[in-house]
Amino acid sequence: MPALLCLCACPDRDAADRIATALVEERLAACVNVLPGVRSVYRWEGALQRDDEVLLLAKTAPGRLQALIARVVALHPYELPEVIAVESAGGLPAYLDWVALETAVEPQA
C-alpha cells in the first residue's frame, strides 16, 4: 500500500498542534510529526522573507490527500499554506498497512 508524506510549514507551535491534531482526529493522517526550529527563506509578494516556522510531516493514504489539503487550507492562518505531498518509494509493509488502516474513511476493527 503506498503512502504519502505531506509537508506543511506553520507559523508557530499552536497552529501546528491544532492542524496536526485535527488531521489525526479526522483520520486524514495516520501520524503527524511536529518539527520546531525550521527557518524558511522565500519570496512573497516581491519581497524576500525569512521566518521561523514549525514543519508538519503528515503520513496519509493517496485517497485522503485532497481531503487533507482542504482541511489544512481551512485551518491554516496563511493565505497560501504550503502543502506538498511526496509519494513513498517503499517502507516497512506493516507500517504502510497501518497508515492505510488509520486513514480509512470507515476504520476496520
DSSP per-residue codes, the chain? ---EEEEEEESSHHHHHHHHHHHHHTTS-SEEEEEEEEEEEEEETTEEEEEEEEEEEEEE-GGGHHHHHHHHHHH-SSSS---EEEE-S---HHHHHHHHHHT-SS---
pLDDT at residue 7 in the model: 98
Domains of the chain, CATH where assigned: 4-102 (3.30.70.120)
- Beta-bridged to residue 49, according to DSSP, are 42
Q: Which parts of the chain have pLDDT scores under 70?
A: 107-109
pLDDT at residue 19 in the model: 98
Cβ atoms of 88 and 64 within 8 Å: the answer is no
pLDDT at residue 108 in the model: 58
pLDDT digits (tens, 9 = 90+) for 65-96: 999 999 999 999 999 999 999 999 999 999 99
Question: Minimal CA–CA distance to 30: which of 109, 88, 108, 101?
Answer: 101
pLDDT at residue 107 in the model: 58
